[in-house]
Amino acid sequence: MAGIQEVVEQYITPDTLEEKTALWIEKIAAYRWREIEWVDSAATALLVVDMTRPFVDPGRPLASPNSAVILPRVNELLEAFRTRGKPVVWLIQGHHSVAADRGQLLDFWWPSPILEGTQDVEVATGLSVEPGEKVILKRRYSGFYQTDLELTLRCLKVSSVVVCGVLTNVCPYLTAFDAFYRGFRVYYPADGTASLNEHLHLAALRSICAWAGYVVSCAEIVDWLRGNVS
């Protein structure tokens, strides 16, 4: 059976990310059936999904080389949210044990346990969690499944979420759809997410913008938070 490494390709570099972002926005245009609504950004939270060492740090078996490339963009989003005192929530894959909360089915499809109490649940090199920012350990792909993420967002009076992280077509993707199901407006940064290859990345962006949220750039989100987009 083919493994992850057989489908991995580096489709972005720091030098090409800007150009690629513009190209992705162009390529998903046929699926953008709704005009982007830049509502009041006051009730917005940033959800950072799986930007952790196993998925980002170079040389790790599960890491995509593209994940490290988007890290500066994620930091730009973090700075923009923090500067304005807006909520940041970290969603991190982590399990107590295979038997306790991982189960045979997930273990079959993803036979690489990420366990609590290890370096695998630490955020990637170059990122940091600041005091007051909530960290939620998730047991499945979506950050909403069997966690208190929805309760957290309701308590914070959040109505819109920016979902960034890796992999574009898995955990951030399913978290974004689950946010949509719960009535949260979703903004999905094309250059704040990354996948194993460009085909998977683009497929996810097309699905999001067609059915669940607004695919935009990190720069547009920062401008929105500054009040420069309407």
The mean per-residue pLDDT over the stretch 201-215 comes to: 98
Contact 158, 186 (CB under 8 A): no
Residue 133 lies in a domain: yes
**Whether residue 218 lies in the annotated active site:** no
Residue 230 lies in a domain: no
Question: What's the CA gap between 79 and 62, in Å, rounded?
Answer: 27
CATH number (domain holding residue 79): 3.40.50.850
Place of tokens 């972005």: 12
Q: Can you give the pLDDT at residue 1?
A: 39
Predicted structure pTM score: 0.96
Place of tokens 């999001």: 208
E strands within the chain? 44-49, 88-93, 134-138, 160-166, 185-189, 193-194, 214-216
Q: Can you give the pLDDT at residue 84?
A: 97
Q: Can you give the pLDDT at residue 104?
A: 87
Residue 2 lies in a domain: no
Catalytic member of 164, 171, 209, 218: 171
Q: Can you give the pLDDT at residue 2?
A: 59
Residue 105 lies in a domain: yes
Residue 33 lies in a domain: yes
The mean per-residue pLDDT over the stretch 22-33 comes to: 97
Number of domains in the chain: 1
Residue 45 lies in a domain: yes
Range of the domain at 90: 10-225
In this structure, what token pair is assigned to residue 199?
């085909």
Is 56 a residue whose pLDDT tops 50? yes
Residue 4 lies in a domain: no
